[in-house]
Structure 1
Amino acid sequence: MAKVKYYYDSDTLSYQKIKIKKRDKLKNFLLTIISAFIFMILGFVVFTPFFESPKEKELSRELEFVKLNEELHSKKIVQLESILKEIQDRDNNIYRLYFEVNPIPEERRKAGFGGINRYKALEGFDNSEMIIDVTKNMDILSKQLYIQSKSLDEIVNLAENKEKLLAAIPAIQPVKKEDLTRMASGFGWRTDPFTKARKKHYGMDFSAPSGTPIYATGDGIVKRADQRASGFGKHIEIDHGFGYITLYAHLSKYNVRRGQHVKRGDLIGFVGTTGRSQGPHLHYEVHKNGRKINPINFYYGNLSPEEFEAMQKAAQIEGQSLD
């Protein structure tokens, strides 16, 4: 029940009851409602940031998680870039240098991506700049890793070929030094034992008793083992690959057949005097890409420096060849 209010009337010297008109009551009521509404709006605007809904809290946590992940990815990318840079340096300055191939240019390793905007779909978000930057760095890193992976594949192939090449090169003496009578004739101009005319001698003659073992000087495939070539008698040719072919002539008999795979040091035949020969010996030649070259440059596999020097001096003596 509303309280009754009074006022003091100085004319009548008495208290009179205050009478409120209905219009005033309605006015006061409306003012109260409006004031409450205004205070409610102000309270929502001022205090809402401090009181998040469960959904808003969940979104805020997800946003913080995304930001944290992006920062961690950025740090990880920096670490990976540092590791990749070391691998790239070793690749260019050690591996590719060792196998005598050109280094990969820096501009090729760090080439960007051309064409349309690859990151348009990532635009328009609160953290678009950060997301685009991380994604772009990941793309660049992925491309560099792909290039480096292909380079290492190439290095592996080169290493395998290098190993095959080292095994294929004719690197030992075809007749063991303890089995030799002497190194009869070297590569160069010599006197023909039959015509007595000077002519080019394209191999080395190793004088040894008939039946002395002859060994393959490098890995390869027997290209021929016959006596159909003029002057060589029974002879063997081995194709070592990489442009190398070796020839072993004037044999007494074979220990291999055409098409057979041989390894360096395998017994392939025996010294003889078949064909155009003045005595038991092995005539040995080395061919590279169809050109006959001096075999003395290929004996590093089983001669000491002193023995090699002695053989070199003997090979330089211009005398008569044995074939």
Structure 2
Amino acid sequence: MKKANILATAALATLLAACSNDSDVLNTPDYADTPIGLNVNVGPMATRAGYDNTNLTGSSFGLYLTTEGTNSDERYNCTNREVKYDNGWTIQGGQLLWKSNDATVTYYAYLPYIGTVSDAANYAFAVQTDQSSDSNVKASDFLCTGTQTATAGTALDINFKHALSKLNVTLKKGSELENGVIFTSVRLSNCATATTVNLTAGTAGTATNSGQTITLYAATPNKQYECILVPQTFAQSLKVEITDDNGKVYTFTHNKDLTFASGKQYTLNLTVGRDKVTTGTISAESWDNEQQGGDLVTE
């Protein structure tokens, strides 16, 4: 009798274990044909104007998504689909879906959105020459993600990065300069303003200087100025002009080549004297804080 009870108990345990395994299989989520969600943010940015996490929702962005083996089925793929914010980020033209749990899905995005992109590897973009206002600095900022791989069942992480370059200019008054002098504008000469961005890689190409002049944004009037630049090399031609409230122009020039790279920001520290402008160093770091640096020489 005891032997029969033991056998019955063992059989029951085996049955329960089998049911438990079946339950585990049944409880595994199946994401086939379920909607794809989005998490959207932008990486660190030290500029006072331009795009950051507080103002992304005022603009729409373009999304490219490819699901391998689906023959461009529009339920699982999109090309330059606009994404807008309306109490949450909404993919225009219909919701995109996961094909299956194990489908290979890649995607990339850029901001601000434009309706027609003829060549995603050579997207033309230009910065504003007058960046003295918040709106014009923002209009000069270009964000992209580069190509990412998605995981079914999780939201797409749209982690935007700044594709161009940024220059910060800090001004200090020399001891011989009159205390009442107020700096009213800072301009950078001999600039290129147009470039092409590879949306799939998330980087901008190095432009050729075209002799343009950019007026900088006064982040802290009389002290801190900044602008967004397309990546470019100043071949012994970087020139900063500082104007005071009396109309006097103080000029700094640099007699060495200086390259502004995609995704990096630079800080130029200047001391403005009565008759000349001098500098200590110019430092460079990625907008993810990878430090570099070097000395500048005053002409």
Per the normalisation by structure 2, the TM-score is 0.29
Higher strand share: 2
Query: TM-score, normalised to structure 1's length?
Result: 0.28
Higher Cα radius of gyration: 1
Q: Structure 1 or 2: larger helix share?
A: 1
